[in-house]
Amino acid sequence: MSFNRTANAIDLAPLMDILKPYKQNPRGALIPVLQQAQDVYGYLPQEVLETIASELRVPVAEVFGVVTFYAQFHLNPRGKNIVRVCQGTACHVRGGAGILEAVSHHLDVKPGETTKDLNFTLETVACLGACGLAPVMMVNENTHGRLTPDDIPGILDSYLA
Amino acid sequence: MLELKRLTSVDELNKLQEEARPLLGLRHYNRAANQEKYQILICGGTGCTSSGSMNIRDALQAAIDNNDLHDRVNIVVTGCHGFCELGPLVIFYPGGIFYVRVQPEDAEELIKTTVLEGKTVERLHYQGRTGKTPRHSYRDMLFYNLQKRLVLRNCGRIDPENIFEYIANGGYQGIAKALGMGREATLEEVYNSGLRGRGGAGFPTGLKWKFMAAETAEPKYMLCNADEGDPGAFMDRSVLEGDPNAVIEGMLIGAWATGATEGYVYVRAEYPLAIKRLGIALAEAEALGLIGDNILGSDFSFHLKIKQGAGAFVCGEETALMRSIEGKRGMPRVRPPFPAKRGLWEKPTVLNNVETFANVARIITDGAEAFRQDGTEKSPGTKIFAVTGKVRNTGLVEIPMGVSMRHIIFDICAGIKNENKFKAVQIGGPSGACLPASMLDNPVDYDSLTAAGAMMGSGGLVVVDEDTCMVDLARFFLTFTQAESCGKCTPCREGSKRMLEILERICGGEGRDGDIEELERLAHTMRTSSLCALGQTAPNPVLSTLRFFRSEYEAHIHDKKCPAGVCTKLLQYRIDPEKCKGCTLCARNCPVGAITGKVREPHLINPNKCIKCGTCMDKCKHGAISRV
């Protein structure tokens, strides 16, 4: 895993707005700040991590340690649409592996990868908590349940429009 | 007019309850022949929302407008009703008229038939287990009648985004009564109830609270663990989405009893709806002065915030969760000192699970004795289970502790899908165990499960049938725990990795003599020497499947066969030349072109090309393809 320095300079102004309320009392601020920064930038480029470190007065190494510990944080740019295929127990016994295979095949990427056109990032999750609808996947904020591999191309293509 | 105005005494709360009561006025079962007004409750839990319940709300609203009925009918979005199998659910009150798998196209008919004609739409009722006996009302459904919904009493019955509905149904009366009882009597009541932590280990809640109450350091923290990470468990999510105020009230009572002044709810980021509804409830409670300084005019103050997790299963462990709130890597530490002495920011801290807190208000309003009416001597009260997998009626089930697994799976959830045979039930997630059919009649409570080598866990029940390979299931859980091991202690970090390697080898057809013994040795080491519960319990799925399904491991290792037909490396697909009609359907659907043959002549599968996806078997109309 490595830092990703962006080719073009990024606008740090929104980050400064995020940091503002935490500067007085930085206790416990690191994770919420990283979450909000990722919401804005889509991922966490090196400039952002360095700025957060200096503004919250924690070593960059500690920031990097936290970012790499939690599955939610990303150091590389991600696709416009995030596909999260559930591999939880209920989905597993109802054919979740076949759904993952179908998505992976249709997008031609492995879990954790982003398509070349930056349209999709494929991820797996341990459980989305919609076990009653197993097997399930989420595309962005939408949950799709009771899936069969045949449903996959249609669902994914609908996000390209 | 109901106003979000600061309440400065218990009397004002009582007055507000009276004023809010009409909100629930229609939610009863006595539907008059010429019923004038209706309320439509639409399930807005995650399950039903994913199957499109918000589109149905819009369609129903349009139908109400078209028929000029807005004086007579209104719509309320509620939390999860628990009958997820048949969602989206729509319920008309009065009458509790229960409609399942509703689609937006049905809206016009639903409104016309139910409201204007005073009848019901037969085809949209649950048709019972036989598929022939429509259940008209909530009250006619065995799935609900066999349950005892105490913690879930508000889920699906009230609007979780409207604190007045919670208050109308007796909400915040628990904290009001506790303030009158005093801190010590409140603590005693919870202690006497025998309530045990619903998050997994079953530690007595009252005892935990007593430990913290005895501490003098300040401030003290009251935390709620809503980092529901067990795959297959969604009871905490449903409580947060369906009745968030019950959790807030439980935390208030806990804070009052133990002297805590600050609190956090730590919620998984994967639960956006739960976070949203909890946020609304918290803002409303603050506006009413139920959270903040001088609650209900007393000298008790409690401040509560929401913290979002960032995706790490180990953060369900209490010390790891506290590190995560502090903004650090969520790794557990050695206990003692226990968090009641030194927890969040080294101050006294109590952490309880969502469902535990949701039990507390009722213990105070109805008393410890009433709570003990349900359940067993050592495991009093009810427990919510999320029943999923190959069961007919998946969903949320609340039952008194001590009933049998058979009752839950076969009586309430209607048994196994597609008339298949029950094989095992997996309880307790990655820390739990697989119990075979011979243990179906054992009671479900903390101690009986521990005696059977399983654990309650958070209450996920995943039912599996004969088509599930137990070695593959054990491998599945180890994949999960191995990926989620934080890496701090060696037994867990290395042990889970090595165990997974062996299991993958066995599933891949390369198992060898001594593998089972090696698994057992590693499991023993992890159990006895891992730092936290994640590592200590990670071997449970392997040990329990070895105990009850050892022959499956042996078949994989010695005979290179997967009896359930799951492990693809151990499978071959064959076409029976006698049955094959040469229709070419299989060959046309094979994704890798492994099937050859002429029209009207038996086809052949090339085993070197075959990826064992099973498509040919699914497509064949003559039953000519088999898995061996």
Which pLDDT score is estimated for A5?
58
Q: In what order do the strands lie in the sheet with B303-308?
A: B303-308, B262-267, B221-226, B349-353
Residues B357-377 as b or e (16 or more Cβ within 10 Å = b): bbbbbbbbbeebeebbebbbe
Confidence of residue B129 (pLDDT cuts 50, 70, 90): confident
Q: Do B604 and B550 have their domain in common?
A: no
Say if residue A6's pLDDT is above 60. no
Please give the average per-residue pLDDT across B90-106, as a whole number.
96
Q: Which residues of A touch B46 (CB under 8 A)?
A: 128-130, 143
What DSSP element (H or E) covers A118? none
* Residue type for position B620: C
Q: Do B403 and B311 lie in a common domain?
A: no
Residue B571 has pLDDT above 50, yes or no: yes
For residue B199, the model assigns a pLDDT of 86
CB B315 within 8 A of CB B282: no
- Find the mean pLDDT for residues B165-174: 98
Mean pLDDT of A7-31: 89
Residue A132: which of B47, B229, B486 has the nearest Cβ? B47
B500 and B579, same domain (yes or no) = no
Q: Are residue B178 and residue B326 in the same domain, yes or no?
A: yes
Q: Which of B23-32, B39-48, B229-238, B362-371 is the least confident region?
A: B229-238
Check whether residue B459 and residue B583 sit in a common domain. Answer: no
Return the CATH number at B592.
Answer: 3.30.70.20
Query: In terms of domains, do B284 and B353 share one?
Result: yes
The DSSP secondary structure of B205-269, one letter per residue, reads HHHHHHHHHT---SS-EEEEEE---STT--HHHHHHHH-HHHHHHHHHHHHHHHT--EEEEEE-T
- pLDDT interval class at A41 (50, 70, 90): very high
B309 interaction partners in chain A (CB closer than 8 Å)? 72
Query: Which two structure tokens, joined as six digits, stand for B182?
Result: 């005093």
- B-chain CB neighbours of A32 within 8 Å are 307-308, 327
Query: Is the separation of the CB atoms in B226 and B267 below 8 Å?
Result: yes
B127: containing domain: 23-141
Provide the pLDDT for residue A139: 93
Q: Which of A27, A72, A87, A127 to probe by mutation at the B interface, max B CB count within 10 Å? A: A127
What integer is the mean pLDDT of B440-469?
A: 90
**B234, B272, B329 member nearest A66 (Cβ):** B329
How far does A51 lie from chain B, in Å, by closest CA?
A: 17
Handedness of CA B374, B377, B381, B386 (dihedral sign): negative
On whether both B446 and B478 belong to a single domain, the answer is no
Regarding whether B228 and B363 lie in a shared domain, the answer is: yes
pLDDT, greater one: A5 or B513: B513
Domain contains B615: yes
Per-residue pLDDT of B547-567, as tens digits, reads 999 999 999 999 999 999 899
pLDDT one-digit tens code per residue, B282-326: 999 999 999 999 999 999 999 999 999 998 999 999 999 999 999
Distance CA B90, CA B112 (A): 15
Asked whether residue B6 is assigned to any structural domain, the reply reads no
Asked if residue B204 belongs to a domain, the reply is yes
The conformational region for residue B396 under phi > 0 = left, psi -120 to 50 = alpha, else beta, is beta
Q: Chain A contacts of B313, Cβ < 8 Å?
A: 126
- Mean pLDDT (chain B) is 94
Q: Is residue B566 part of a domain?
A: no
Nearest to B482 by CA among B258, B190, B474, B332: B474
Q: Pick the residue with more confidence: B626 or B207?
A: B207
Measured CA to CA, the distance from residue B521 to residue B516 in angstroms comes to 9
pLDDT (mean) for B265-271: 91
Sign of the alpha-carbon torsion through B58, B60, B64, B66: positive
Residue B288 inside a domain? The answer is: yes
Set of chain B residues whose Cβ sits within 8 Å of the Cβ of A136: 50
Contact B612, B571 (CB under 8 A): yes
B349-353 vs B221-226, strand pairing mode: parallel
B302 φ, ψ (degrees, to nearest 5): -150, 125
DSSP H or E stretch at residue B452 = none
* Interface with A, mutate which of B143, B329, B345, B484 (most A CBs under 10 A): B329
Q: Is residue B567 part of a domain?
A: no
Domain-located, residue B4: no
DSSP B134-155: -B-BGGG-HHHHTS--STTTTT
Distance to chain B for A106, nearest Cα, Å: 12
Tell me, yes or no, whether B158 lies in a domain.
no
d(CA B121, CA B101): 12
Q: Give the DSSP per-residue string, A57-75.
A: T--HHHHHHHHHHSTT--S
Cβ-nearest to A132 among B84, B230, B613: B84
pLDDT at position B568, please? 87
- Give the residue-averaged pLDDT of B500-529: 97
Q: Kindly determine whether residue A145 and residue B271, on different chains, have CB atoms separated by under 8 Å.
A: no
Q: Taking CA atoms, what residue in B is nearest to A38?
A: B310
Q: Is the pLDDT of residue A1 over 90?
A: no
- Do B405 and B537 reside in the same domain of the chain? no
Alpha-carbon span B417 to B156, nearest angstrom: 26
**Do B187 and B242 fall into the same domain?**
yes
Give pLDDT, residue A125.
Answer: 86
The answer to whether B186 and B255 are in contact (CB under 8 A) is: no
- Closest residue in A to B235 (Cα) is A129
- The contact set of A with B (CB < 8 A) is 27-32, 34-35, 62, 65-66, 69-73, 87-90, 92-94, 98, 101, 125-134, 136, 141-146
| B229 and B96 inside one domain | no
Across the range B331-347, mean pLDDT stands at 96
pTM of the model: 0.93
Cβ contacts of B589-593, under 8 Å, gap ≥ 24: B589/B615, B589/B616, B589/B619, B590/B615, B590/B616, B591/B615
Domain tally, chain B:
5
Total length of chain A:
161
What mean pLDDT comes out for the span B498-521? Answer: 97
Confidence band for B150, pLDDT divided at 50, 70 and 90: very high
Q: Across chain B, which distance is largest between two alpha carbons, in Å?
A: 88
Q: What is the ipTM of this complex?
A: 0.87
Whether B440 and B322 map to the same domain: the answer is no
The per-residue pLDDT for A130 is 81
Position B38 confidence tier, pLDDT thresholds 50, 70, 90: very high
For position B359, which CATH number holds? 3.40.50.11540
Q: Domain containing B501 — which CATH number?
A: 1.20.1440.230
- What's the CA angle centered on B196, arms B409 and B295, to 5 degrees? 120
